[in-house]
Structures are given as C-alpha cells and as structure tokens.
C-alpha cells in the first residue's frame, strides 16, 4: 500500500513540475514567412535595358536552385534578360534584396517592379506561363499578379 502512495505522490509531483516548466517556456514565437523583393534596381543585373528580367536568387549548394535555373535560363532572349544570382558568389545582392530562402525567382518589368515571384521549386509550365502573361496578359492560363508562390527550399 505504501508503494502505491509513493507512486501516486511521484506522479503528482511530476505533473506539477511539468506544468511549471511549460508555463515558464511560454508559447513558441510565431515564424514569419519568406518574402520576395517587390522592386529591383535593373542596373544591378545584366541587360538592364531589356523589357523584362527574370532574376533567380540561388545558391550553388542548392539542388532545387539548379533545376529552377535550367528552366528559367531558357527564357533568355532580346526581350527577357535572365540573371542567376548565386549566394556564394554574390552575397551582397542577396543581402541588398533581403533574400532569406533560395530559390527565389522574380519577374520584373523595365522599371524593376516585380510582377510575379516564386519562392522554392517551380514547374516549368508555371514559370513560362507567368512570363508569357507578364509580357502579354491573357495569353496563358495563369495571370500575372503581384504575388509570390510559396514552396520553400532552404535558407541561407
């Protein structure tokens, strides 16, 4: 009988300690989401006079970045400049535009206003449709809106 009483006391003490520790720890802080830049200085990128820029903020250590780069580089033309801004080689631009996760891909117009952004991996057809709609609204199923599609790969 005394063993049952001791076990009951031990359980009550353990529950009490657990409750106190949980109250001290408090709730975990809310985590903010990653954001793509909304404005670029076109002079920071190759072909600043091209009507459109597809800028990929990436890292050479990121497998998803290489996949997005291969899909995005195909878009390069006289009308669309493509820039792959690698974190390892160009930390300054990543810091300037507050890039916290890669791959981050943005489609910017001639004034550097970001018209569409993708955070994380992107399907080729979604990327190509977004560029087509930015250049000529209504030509592809998805629209060119000022928003980001979120699917985070990794952080710096």
Residue scoring higher pLDDT (31 or 136) = 136
Burial class (CB in 10 A: 0-12, 13-18, 19+), 83: buried
Looking up tokens 């009490």, which residue turns up?
Answer: 16
Instruction: Please write the tens of the pLDDT for every residue from 101-123.
Output: 999 999 999 999 999 999 999 99
| Phi and psi, residue 57, nearest 5° | -90, 120
Q: Are the CB atoms for 129 and 140 separated by under 8 Å?
A: yes
Residue pLDDT, tens place only, 7-38: 667 767 776 666 666 666 655 555 567 899 99
DSSP result, 75-91? T-SSSEEEEEEETTT-H
Six-digit token pair at 111? 């004034």
Q: What per-residue confidence (pLDDT) applies to 3?
A: 76
Instruction: Enter the pTM of the model.
Output: 0.72
How many Cβ atoms sit within 10 Å of the Cβ of residue 43? Answer: 7
Average pLDDT over residues 145-152: 45
d(CA 14, CA 9) in angstroms, rounded, equals 9
pLDDT (tens digit, 9 = 90+) per residue, 35-72? 999 999 999 999 999 999 999 999 999 999 999 999 99
- CATH numbers and ranges of domains, the chain: 42-155 (3.40.30.10)
């Amino acid at each position: 009988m005394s063993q049952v009483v001791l076990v009951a006391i031990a359980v009550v003490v353990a529950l009490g300690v657990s409750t106190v520790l949980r109250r001290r720890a408090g709730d975990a802080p809310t985590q903010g989401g990653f954001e793509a830049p909304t404005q670029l200085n076109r002079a920071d990128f190759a072909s600043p006079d091209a009507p459109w820029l597809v800028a990929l903020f990436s890292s050479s250590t990121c497998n998803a970045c290489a996949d997005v780069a291969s899909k995005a580089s195909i878009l390069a033309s006289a009308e669309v400049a493509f820039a792959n801004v690698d974190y390892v080689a160009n930390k300054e631009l990543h810091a300037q535009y507050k890039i916290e996760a890669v791959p981050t891909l943005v489609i910017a117009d001639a004034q550097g206003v970001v018209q569409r952004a993708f955070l994380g991996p992107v399907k080729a057809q979604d990327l190509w449709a977004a560029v087509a709609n930015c250049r000529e609204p209504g030509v592809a199923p998805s629209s060119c809106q000022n928003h980001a599609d979120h699917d985070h790969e990794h952080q710096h």
